[in-house]
């Protein structure tokens, strides 16, 4: 049976840190709009303390999580074991978008491997932690990271990535404000 926790315990932190894939869920306020779930990898998640986490947000085709955080701050992370004993961990919290030029950006970005195309760091205050069995999750084997996103950003260069963001990351699919630069 699943349990809930007030903080990320050491055993949960060890489990989370061992996962190479996690999912981010967010939604706009109110009854309308689209719920968004995004897979993330590339060693882009960090536990800052038992109640605070962060992940490195890389330039992508959409800007849903940023728009939803600007709208209402709600965010959920899901980690599930694809290898080893079955387990699922969910982290529920309130997030903030930390961008280049913000006071904490450089220190947060330094926690991650250098990457081309960094858009922001998402910092989250955790409000609820829950685990469950994961018995229904299939087994998969990790084969390695994909290089395409970093290669794409390196080819475009900083100005090309900025132009891409200006064109594709200004608004969410529901018309919420995304990036304003």
* 6-20 confidence digits (pLDDT tens): 999 999 999 999 999
CATH code at 19?
A: 2.30.110.10
Q: Would you say residue 180 lies in a domain? A: no
3-state DSSP assignment of residue 26: strand
Q: Would you say residue 178 lies in a domain? A: no
Q: Would you say residue 108 lies in a domain? A: yes
Q: Would you say residue 110 lies in a domain? A: yes
pLDDT at 1: 67
Rounded Cα–Cα distance for residues 29 and 172 (Å): 13
8 Å CB contact between 178 and 171: yes
| Domain region containing 62 | 3-168
Q: Would you say residue 46 lies in a domain? A: yes
Buried/exposed 25-60: b ≥16 CB within 10 Å, e otherwise: bbbbeeeebeebeeebebebbbbeebbebbbbbbbb
Q: Would you say residue 146 lies in a domain? A: yes
21 φ, ψ (degrees, to nearest 5): -135, 140
Q: Would you say residue 175 lies in a domain? A: no
Rounded Cα–Cα distance for residues 57 and 124 (Å): 13
Whose tokens are 């630069």? That residue is: 181
Per residue in 118-164, pLDDT tens?
Answer: 999 999 999 999 999 999 999 999 999 999 999 999 999 999 999 99
Please, is 172 exposed, middle or buried when counting C-beta atoms within 10 Å of its C-beta (0-12, 13-18, 19+)?
buried
pTM over 0.85: yes
pLDDT at 164: 96
Tell me what the mean pLDDT of segment 90-98 comes to.
98
Report the number of distinct structural domains present in the chain: 1
Q: Would you say residue 176 lies in a domain? A: no
Q: Residues 103, 109, 23, 80: is their CA dihedral positive or negative? A: negative
């Amino acid at each position: 049976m699943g349990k809930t926790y007030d903080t990320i315990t050491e055993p949960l932190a060890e489990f989370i840190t061992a996962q190479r894939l996690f999912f981010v869920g967010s939604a706009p306020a109110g009854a309308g709009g689209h719920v968004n779930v995004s897979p993330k990898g590339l060693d882009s998640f960090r536990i800052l303390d038992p109640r605070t986490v962060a992940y490195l947000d890389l330039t992508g085709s959409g800007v849903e999580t940023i728009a939803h955080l600007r709208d209402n701050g709600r965010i959920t992370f899901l980690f599930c074991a694809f290898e080893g004993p079955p387990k699922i961990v969910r982290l529920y919290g309130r997030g903030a978008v930390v961008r280049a030029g913000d006071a904490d950006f450089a220190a947060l970005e330094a926690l991650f491997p250098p990457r081309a195309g960094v858009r922001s760091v998402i910092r989250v205050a955790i409000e609820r932690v829950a685990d469950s069995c994961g018995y229904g999750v299939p087994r998969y084997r990790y084969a390695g990271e994909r290089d395409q996103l970093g290669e794409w950003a390196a080819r475009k260069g900083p100005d090309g990535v900025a132009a891409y963001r200006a064109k594709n990351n200004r608004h969410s699919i529901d018309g919420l404000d995304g990036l304003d630069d």
